[in-house]
Chains A and B, each alone.
Chain A
């Protein structure tokens, strides 16, 4: 963990937002263990989960004790975006979620890495991982979207279902003042539109933000499946508080 930024200089709100994103998505991907379509894909998803967990550990450590933060916080105290807490669904759902998030994370870390803020060292390392995650998701989006009728319709369904959670990604995060969020969103839309187009998929027409849609994860308001995920993740630690392992 040589890239840990000096704790006192890191804005806690931002460390929690980025750290919780990585932690929660890592847990979701971990749920695929033993269930992926093929062994090779299982390894790929586990690799991505491990990358994300590594990022989460660095980030949460700057905000406090990583285990306490992961296992002892209530749902309302988590600051992850709602996209990453969405259930895995079928493989197309997992890939669509991965495409949306990895594209966002890659762009964000790219900007943070080129700045001189407290997250630059971490982002410099994470940006390489995110580039690989994005490539993996893109490759699968192209194959599923432009695959069979069945894989096409499933992927379109996944893209449509998760679209509403993507607006939240570009809400400014407190402490990441150097990020041009509107510019980030424009670039994200261009990249995602390009991949979906090449995959013969339609960009959803529904709004990505708005009263009807989701998007308050950064304020601690989460969707219903998140509570169940946390209960499973935190169960052992809550049963034996204070234990070491």
Chain B
């Protein structure tokens, strides 16, 4: 058995009080079912999480560092692009 049979999986865990899944790390597993179980052992053993997503690393498309500028350069000199002029009513959470 070689590791070519054991693809890499990315693990996302939503914590007990969390609102969204956060990338927790990666691991090797032969298939999705065992990837879930391995993730449970490796990343949620102490009850940190209540929901796990596993995704084969090959399914993730990442932005290219070469395209960093056109992708991410913020138009900081155009404040009207940013929703900063609204007053947030009291009692609105998670914004």
Contact B1 A40 (CB under 8 A): no
B28-53 near A? 1/0 per residue, CB < 8 Å: 11110110011001100100000000
CB distance from B38 to the nearest CB of A (A): 4
Instruction: Select the residue from A37, A38, A39 with max chain B CB neighbours within 10 A.
Output: A38
B41 contact from A37, A47, A139, Cβ within 8 A:
A47
Contact B1 A136 (CB under 8 A): no
A194 near B: Cβ within 8 Å? no
Q: How many residues on chain A are close to B (CB under 8 Å)?
A: 12
Contacts A38-B6, A47-B45 given: A135-B37 contact, CB under 8 Å?
yes
A34 to B7: give the CA distance in the assembly, Å.
21
CB distance from B37 to the nearest CB of A (A): 6
Q: Is the interface of A mostly helix, strand, loop or mixed?
A: helix
CB distance from B33 to the nearest CB of A (A): 6
Which bucket holds chain B's interface residue count?
A: 10 to 19
A37 to B29: give the CA distance in the assembly, Å.
11
Closest partner residue, chain B, to A41 (CB atom)? B38
Closest partner residue, chain B, to A142 (CB atom)? B33
A44 contact from B1, B3, B28, B37, Cβ within 8 A:
B37
Contact A43 B28 (CB under 8 A): no
Q: Which B residues are in CB contact (< 8 Å) with A37? A: 1
A40 to B8: give the CA distance in the assembly, Å.
12
CB distance from A88 to the nearest CB of B (A): 17
B1-39 near A? 1/0 per residue, CB < 8 Å: 101001000000000000000000001111101100110
Contact A39 B28 (CB under 8 A): yes
Q: Which B residues are in CB contact (< 8 Å) with A136? A: 37
Q: Which B residues are in CB contact (< 8 Å) with A157? A: none
Contact A43 B41 (CB under 8 A): yes
CB distance from A144 to the nearest CB of B (A): 11
A111 near B: Cβ within 8 Å? no
A143 near B: Cβ within 8 Å? yes
Contact B41 A44 (CB under 8 A): yes
Q: Which of A106-143 contact B (CB under 8 A)?
A: 135-136, 139, 143
Contact B38 A139 (CB under 8 A): no
A47 to B41: give the CA distance in the assembly, Å.
7
CB distance from A37 to the nearest CB of B (A): 6
Q: Which B residues are in CB contact (< 8 Å) with A43? A: 38, 41-42
Contact A139 B34 (CB under 8 A): yes
A47 to B3: give the CA distance in the assembly, Å.
22
Binding site for A on B (CB under 8 A): 1, 3, 6, 27-31, 33-34, 37-38, 41-42, 45
A-B contact pairs, 13 of them (CB 8 A): A37-B1, A38-B28, A39-B28, A40-B27, A40-B29, A40-B38, A40-B41, A47-B41, A135-B37, A139-B34, A139-B37, A143-B31, A143-B34
Beyond A37-B1, A38-B6: 17 further Cβ-contacts under 8 Å? A38-B28, A39-B28, A40-B27, A40-B34, A40-B38, A40-B41, A40-B42, A43-B38, A43-B42, A44-B38, A47-B41, A47-B45, A135-B37, A136-B37, A139-B33, A143-B31, A143-B34
